[in-house]
Amino acid sequence: MQIIPAIDIIDGKCVRLTQGDYNQKTVYNEQPAEVAKAFEAAGLKRLHLVDLDGAKAGAVKNWKVLEVIAKTTGLVIDFGGGIKKKEDLEIVFSSGAAFATIGSLAVKEHATFTDWLGKFGADKFLLGADVKDEKIAVGGWLETTDVCVYDFLEKYISHGVRQVFCTDISKDGKLEGPSVKLYENIINKFPKLEFIASGGVATLNDLYALEAIGCNGAIVGKAIYEGRINLNELASFNNNAE
């Protein structure tokens, strides 16, 4: 299982929100590229980069941060937040992202997303599923749909999507542990999926629990910034996983 550290960006700075609430914001570092370099120095290979300004505005905003990190590290970056148009997608890929992260758009604009899958290739996308009580949530988690997570994933797996990350929004940013049972259910239903867990990771034991159920990756954010898990521990976990 691969550890994927997260950097969330507002005004070009590395921040974390609690449960997607922009009013519950903590700034951790004003230089996201320095944070990314520290991740790379610890032996981590991937990065989950989220443009929170873009998510709010409905258009990519912090692509310059992506560009700098892509140029100054060798991290494999997935980038999301505000990708609503083909032009956004092209900016993200030209700025150095290996994967474009798509969430709400896949829920609301099925035709657009399936068109992108055909044109750019399904292997260029990381599908994000924000979930509350097994239903998909959208719009910065302000809106819960009646779409079942299993139906949502099945629809896009049939279009070639293989890489998915799932966030139980009741857990995110709370450091209360991940939704192991939900993730286990998804993995059992879709065993060929490259499944990445997100939200709630607070300790190294949480990572071992996710590895035990067959997760391919785990996104870790607040636990790193709050010092619950240090980079040496993540590096040794990654080395053991390899």
Residue of 51, 78, 88, 130 marked active site:
130
Burial-class residue 191 by CB neighbours within 10 Å (0-12, 13-18, 19+): exposed
- Cα dist. 26→5, 15, 30, 65, 194 in Å? 17, 5, 11, 18, 31
Q: Which DSSP string do the residues of 80-103 spell out, in sequence order?
A: ESS--SHHHHHHHHHTT-SEEEE-
Q: How far is CA 120 from the centre of its chain?
A: 20
Q: Can 8 be counted among the known catalytic residues?
A: yes
Provide the β-strand partners of residue 21.
18
How does DSSP classify residue 45? Answer: -
∠182-21-54 over CA atoms, to 5°?
95
* Active-site residue, 168 included: no
Contacts of 117 (CB under 8 A, 6+ apart): 125, 156, 159, 160, 161
Q: Tell me the C-alpha to C-alpha distance, in Å, between residue 195 and each of 86, 190, 203, 228.
A: 26, 9, 20, 24
- Please state, in angstroms and rounded to a whole number, the distance separating the CA atoms of residues 127 and 144: 17
> Which position among 8, 53, 172, 206 bears the catalytic label?
8
Q: Which residues are catalytic?
A: 8, 130
